[in-house]
Amino acid sequence: MTSILVTGGAGYLGSTLVPRLLEAGYTVTVLDNFLFRQTSLAECCADARFEIVRGDCRDERLMAEIIPFHDVIIPLAALVGAPLCERDALGARSVNLEAVRTICRIASPQQRILLPVTNSGYGIGQAGQACTEESPLRPISLYGKTKVEAEEIVLHRENSLSFRLATVFGMSPRMRLDLLVNDFVYRAVHDRAVVIFEGHFKRNYIHVRDVARVFIHGIENFETMRGRPYNVGLDDANLSKLELCAAIKKHLPNFVYLEAPIGEDPDKRDYLISNARILSTGWRPVYSLDDGIRELIKGCRILRGNLHANV
Superfamily of domain 3-168+205-232: NAD(P)-binding Rossmann-like Domain (3.40.50.720)
**Spatial CB neighbours of 70, under 8 Å, sequence gap ≥ 6:** 3, 4, 5, 29, 111
Strands 193-196 and 256-259: parallel
- Segments of the chain with pLDDT less than 50: none
Q: Give the DSSP letter of residue 293.
A: H
d(CA 207, CA 209): 5
d(CA 121, CA 244): 21
Domain ranges (residues) in the chain: 3-168+205-232
- Residue 32's beta-bridge partner residues? 54
- Residue 50's beta-bridge partner residues? 28
What is the 3 state secondary structure string of 174-201? CCCCCCHHHHHHHHHHHCCEEEECCCCC
In 82-179, beta strands by DSSP E:
112-118, 130-131, 160-165, 167-169
Q: How many CA atoms lie within 13 A of 272 on its CB side?
A: 9
Would you say 52 and 76 are in contact if contact means Cβ atoms under 8 Å apart? no
Q: What is the pLDDT of residue 127?
A: 80
Q: What is the pLDDT of residue 305?
A: 63
Q: What is the pLDDT of residue 263?
A: 67
